[in-house]
Each structure stands twice: as C-alpha cells, then as structure tokens.
C-alpha cells in the first residue's frame, strides 16, 4: 500500500496525517500552500478539483475529504485498535459519531473560518454567529460523552474520532466558544496531547502554541 498526503499545517489534513503516524505505516507528504492567493496548481486540481486539502493518494488513486480518508485508512488497517471492529459492540456508535463530526461540526467550522471567502462578506457576521451556535452544541455533546467513565469520546480507548475532535477543537482557538474554555474538554485535550503520535505530528507540521 502506498500513501501520499497533500497537506497544510494544522488544516483538515492534520487528522489524516495523525492517523498515518498512529498507524505507523510508510507515507509521503507534499506541502500545499493554501494561503496563497495564486490560483491552485492545475496538477493539484487534477487530483482534487476542490483545490482544498487534504488529498490522499492511495496506490495512485487520489481521494478528497478528510473523514472519508480516515475511514479508508481504518479499513485498510483492521486491528489498529483505533475504531471498534466491524460487527463489534460500539461500531454503530463509532459510525454515528464519525458522521456527526463530518456532517455537523466540520461544516460549521468551515462556515466560521471561511464565511467571508465562501459567501458574501457582508453576511459573514451572521454566518459566523450561526456556526458558533452549532459548534457550542457539539461541545455540549462532547462534554456529556467525556463526563462518564471513559477518557475518550467513545469510552476508554483513543481512536479516529478523537483525532478528528482534537483537530477541530484546535480550530476553535480564536473563537468565543474555544473548546479550551470548557474544563471537561480542556482535560481531554491535555490527555490526548501527551500521546507520542500527537507530539510527532506537531513536530512534523511545525505547530506550537495550542493549547496555551
């Protein structure tokens, strides 16, 4: 299996990069400058017509969508322990939470971060306010999950949903609803960030300064 990840530091590629590190499989990375105002390289657009990151090339075939990429990696490496096995207790809950993150949290984050670029800049304030309301309701859900016995979103095992959640919590750092402002979420972030894979990810992506 060969993997090539097109990424930008701290972007939606972060969770996929983290997953590859957790799986401890060989992979290549290619940096994409998503902040440049120059048109995206046509070569890149051929791989991912949205021009966004991440793009994951698996055995020569390019795929977009970070959550789908994580699920593809999970399927290709069964027994990783990063998700409940097919047919095992907890698998349905894993699917539900993964889709909830992809359908509810990720679009709200995109709306907040790109309100003025994706839409009418005059309406950006209202879009961001609605996005923030949606993000708060997800944090409420995560808080409930983390107030039980388990240390992680799906109980006592770290997994794919935690990589997605922590990446997205990081994105909230400049929002009024920053995840770190909630003690239960802050303790969870502090727990996850001690993982060697997270430390390695931050080194490889040159990230620092979160959480403060």
Ligand X SMILES: N[C@@H](CCC(=O)N[C@@H](CS)C(=O)NCC(=O)O)C(=O)O
Q: By CB under 6 A, is residue 106 in contact with ligand X?
A: yes
From the list 51-59, 122-130, 131-139, 154-162, the region that binds ligand X by CB under 6 A is: 51-59
Q: By CB under 6 A, is residue 55 in contact with ligand X?
A: no
Q: Rounded distance, CA 128 to CA 144, Å?
A: 24
Q: By CB under 6 A, is residue 53 in contact with ligand X?
A: yes
Nearer to ligand X, 64 or 84 (CB): 64
Q: Are the beta carbons of 34 and 7 closer than 8 angstroms?
A: no
- Close Cβ partners of 55 (under 8 Å, ≥ 6 residues apart): 5, 6, 32, 44, 47, 48, 62, 63, 64
Q: By CB under 6 A, is residue 173 in contact with ligand X?
A: no
| Closest CB 190 distance from ligand X, rounded Å | 24
Residue 92 in tokens: 């349905």
Nearer to ligand X, 53 or 146 (CB): 53
- Close Cβ partners of 188 (under 8 Å, ≥ 6 residues apart): 142, 146, 151, 152
| Closest CB 22 distance from ligand X, rounded Å | 18
Binding mask 1-30 for ligand X (x = CB under 6 A): ----------xx------------------
Query: Which residues pair with residue 5 across a beta bridge?
Result: 29, 56
Q: Rounded distance, CA 135 to CA 156, Å?
A: 24
Q: By CB under 6 A, is residue 51 in contact with ligand X?
A: yes
Question: By the criterion CB under 6 A, which residues form the site for ligand X?
Answer: 11-12, 34, 51-54, 64-67, 106, 110
């Amino acid at each position: 299996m060969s993997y090539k990840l097109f990424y930008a530091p701290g972007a939606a590629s972060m969770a996929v990069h983290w997953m590859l590190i957790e799986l401890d499989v060989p992979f290549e990375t290619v940096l994409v400058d998503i902040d440049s105002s120059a048109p995206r390289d046509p070569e890149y657009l051929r791989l991912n017509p949205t021009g966004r990151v991440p793009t994951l090339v698996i055995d020569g075939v390019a795929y977009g969508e970070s959550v789908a990429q994580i699920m593809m990696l999970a399927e290709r490496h069964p027994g990783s322990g990063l998700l409940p096995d097919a047919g095992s207790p907890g698998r349905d809950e894993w699917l539900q939470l993964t889709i909830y993150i992809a359908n509810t949290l990720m679009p709200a984050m995109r709306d907040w971060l790109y309100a003025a670029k994706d839409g009418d800049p005059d309406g950006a304030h209202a879009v961001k306010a609605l996005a923030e309301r949606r993000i708060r309701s997800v944090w409420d859900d995560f808080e409930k999950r983390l107030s039980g016995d388990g240390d992680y979103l799906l109980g006592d095992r770290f997994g794919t949903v935690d990589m997605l959640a922590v990446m997205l919590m990081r994105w909230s750092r400049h929002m009024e609803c920053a995840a770190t402002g909630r003690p239960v979420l802050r303790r969870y972030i502090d727990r996850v960030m001690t993982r060697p894979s997270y430390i390695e990810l931050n080194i490889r992506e040159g990230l620092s300064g979160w959480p403060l």
